[in-house]
Amino acid sequence: MAHTVGQALAAQAVSCANAGSPLYGTLLEGLGVDHAAGGITAELLEGVSDRPVHDAIPLRYLATAHRLALSGAAPSLAAQYPSCGGRWSAADDLTAAFLGTVAGNRNEFVAGLRRNVQTNEVGRAAVLASGFAWIGARYGLPTDQLEVGSSAGILSRWDHFAYDTGANRCGDPSSALRFDPAWWCDSTTDGRSAALPDLAAVRPVVRRRASDISPVDIITEAGRTTMASFVWPDQMARLERLRTAMQIAATSPLDLQRADAGAWLASELANGTAAGAVTVVFHSIVWQYLPTTTRDALSTALMVAGERATERNPLCWLRMEPAAATHADLRVTCWPGGETVHLADVGYHGTDIRWLAPPT
């Protein structure tokens, strides 16, 4: 069913309020009123997309304003956005300040409404590190890793962060970005007791490659502001994690290619893998964005490389992808053999890891 822009604004208001952004929840209600009255919100948002919910048009609108606020061009919003050092309380109505910013920066909004929303969720690193630990325990080999749909490449640097389940640890113990035991749950979604991954089994990364159809270069100020603009301004914990991860990225270079996931993976795997290492292809919350041709090319590239894999040079496909409305899951397929193991359930932003894998 096709949705209208008004429905997209209303749905996004509910979803932001439920997902921990009361600031955006109430602001979107105000923008919905402006839209219904035929104001500048209607003028700019109508006609941008025939799928305003799917294309997250309200979030593009909000991110454009956030970007201006972060870069100093929207002082009235910055004064109330916590991400910019401002103060906001539930009694504050930001609609007038927002609409004033839109009116004063019309061209930026016209352009911003045509840019995809692109996040790189740092919190997903903890479940991915748990998956790499399982692979380390299974093969005992160093890792040759390839990430598709990497966005800004933050998760490709997962081993530069510190992880502690309370029972074991991995990563860089001196890292400024730390994942403490609260990220792992002690029970499954159906109430059974959950184990913890053995993080100590993580093996070193000997080569890392990454790609995205639209990569963001966070070595530049503009790239960092772009990434921050897509985080909701009252979600300070996520923003702090992102900022810390971006600082770490500045000192850990990454070969991040602009490429379609299927074509890139086929070409990289055809060029061979590191000898004596396990090749790990991984992604998180990417599959739903890939066209069928890309999914097919990616699957074929994995099957072809899987046929060449040996116990001394295995191949793993590790992915965190949607499982239900409430959570995603982490699965791994291993070659030789092609067996798939359900490793964990996890919240969409990486919290509430419920470890399910039997010990290797």
Ligand X SMILES: C[S@@+](CC[C@H](N)C(=O)[O-])C[C@H]1O[C@@H](n2cnc3c(N)ncnc32)[C@H](O)[C@@H]1O
Tell me which residues touch ligand X (CB under 6 A). Answer: 118-121, 124, 148-151, 155, 212-214, 260-261, 283-286, 289-290, 294
Report the nearest approach of ligand X to the CB of residue 223 (Å).
13
Query: 194 vs 213, which CB is nearer to ligand X?
Result: 213
Smallest gap from residue 95 Cβ to ligand X (A) = 28
User: Given the structure tokens 């890392």, which residue do they identify?
Assistant: 208
Phi and psi at residue 301, to the nearest 5°: -60, -40
Q: Which is nearer to ligand X, 214 or 247 (CB)?
A: 214
Distance CA 13, CA 19 (A): 10
Kindly tell me which of 199 and 320 has the beta carbon lying closer to ligand X: 320
Closer residue to ligand X (CB): 308 or 327: 327
| Least distance between ligand X and beta carbon 55 (Å) | 13
CA 98/CA 27 separation, integer angstroms: 8
Q: How far is the CB of 150 from ligand X (least distance, A)?
A: 6
Q: For residue 171, is it left (φ>0), alpha (ψ between -120 and 50) or beta?
A: left
Best CA proximity match to 216, nearest among 291, 117, 288: 117
Q: Which is nearer to ligand X, 98 or 317 (CB)?
A: 317
Closest CA to 331 of 322, 323, 342, 339: 342
Give backbone dihedrals phi and psi of 84, rounded to 5 degrees, phi first. -105, 10
Identify which of 171, 156, 82 has the alpha carbon closest to the alpha carbon of residue 120.
156
Are 321 and 284 a contacting pair, CB within 8 Å?
Answer: yes
CB closer to ligand X out of 187 and 214: 214
Angle between helix axes 221-229 and 236-250 (nearest 10 degrees) is 160
What backbone phi and psi angles, to 5 degrees, belong to 258? Answer: -90, 110
Q: Which residue is nearest to ligand X (CB)?
A: 149
**Closest separation in Å from C-beta 119 to ligand X:** 6
